[in-house]
Homo-oligomer: A and B are copies of this chain.
Amino acid sequence: MRSIAELRKEIAAYRRRSPEGQAVGFVPTMGYLHEGHASLLRRSSAENGLTVLSVFVNPLQFGPNEDLDKYPRDEARDLAVASASGADIVFMPEVREMYPERMLTAVSVSGVTERLCGASRPGHFDGVATVVTKLLNIVQPDRAYFGQKDAQQVAVIERMVKDLNIPVDVIACPTQREKDGLALSSRNFYLNADERRQALILSRSLAQVPLLIREGACAERLIHWLSSEIAAQPLADIDYIDVFSYPDLQPLAADEPLRSTSAPVLVALAVRFGKTRLIDNMLLNPAEVH
């Protein structure tokens, strides 16, 4: 489905005919669907009477030197994955349907966007917040599903939804991984064999984080250890490795053992392998690390 008006009509028709309490679930994506997206669709389909998938590569959230033009696209495959995973409606708007004229309105979230990907990709989260607001206004779902792999994106959207009283439940779902641990991402498609092999260091080193925290590591030591593990891979070019409280993304005391922190802790990293920038993270409650 390409048109906003048509999509709204379908959803309104569903709402009219569906029995009380049958909710609408929404999975916004940029397409090139993988098992991570499929897991969001299956969860939405299990929890709602109608599941809407959107596939839209949003120009607003790409910087001028980023990979907008070569972001992978495959509509036929996306439709197959969508239907196999429980999507009832697939919304695939053209850019001119979403942005028929120059956008004068922007939604921006401060604080949680200043670090991590917000620092590396200026304007990125304004683009995300704006398009997600538009999509939520178009679909008006009861629940919207996002992958925890984009942990900062989840924090931004949760905060925006709360601040603007958007009537939706934001549901963050666990990161899906290949058998060897690589976090699923549409960008994995760009990796050559050597890059892909070396990229395994991301999930492998993150997997050691609970052990290090149990042993008394502070934020500084954790970052140092991760950096040296990852930098040992010759093709790895570190963008950031950082540790913050979650979901407010504030710095933690650099030299205090993380196991004494009460709030959830996000260990997040972005690393380039060749031209491909990958992100991964671990979200954990230090009090529960035994």
**What is A's interface to B at a CB cutoff of 8 Å?**
4, 8, 16, 20, 103-112, 129-130, 133-134, 137-138, 140, 159-160, 163-167
Contacts and interface: CB of A to CB of B under 8 A. Distances in A.
A159 to B, nearest CB: 6
Contacts of A164: 105, 107, 130, 133-134, 137
A163 B105 contact: yes
A166 B106 CA distance: 13
Contacts of A160: 105
Given A134-B165, A164-B137, A129 B105 contact: yes
Nearest to A130: B164
Which of A103, A106, A110, A134 counts the most chain B CB atoms within 10 A?
Answer: A106
Contacts of A134: 163-165
A138 B165 contact: yes
21 contacts: A4-B165, A16-B20, A103-B163, A104-B109, A104-B110, A104-B111, A104-B112, A104-B163, A105-B107, A105-B109, A105-B110, A105-B159, A105-B164, A106-B107, A107-B107, A107-B164, A130-B164, A134-B164, A137-B166, A137-B167, A138-B167
B109 A108 contact: no
Contacts of A165: 4, 134, 137-138
A271 B280 CA distance: 56
Contacts of A112: 104
Given A104-B112, A107-B107, 7 more contacts: A105-B107, A105-B109, A105-B110, A105-B164, A106-B107, A106-B110, A130-B164
A227 to B, nearest CB: 29
Contacts of A8: 167
A167 B138 CA distance: 7
A129 B140 CA distance: 20
A176 B105 CA distance: 29
Per CB-CB distance, the 6 closest pairs between chain A and chain B, nearest first, are A105-B163, A137-B165, A104-B111, A105-B160, A134-B165, A105-B109
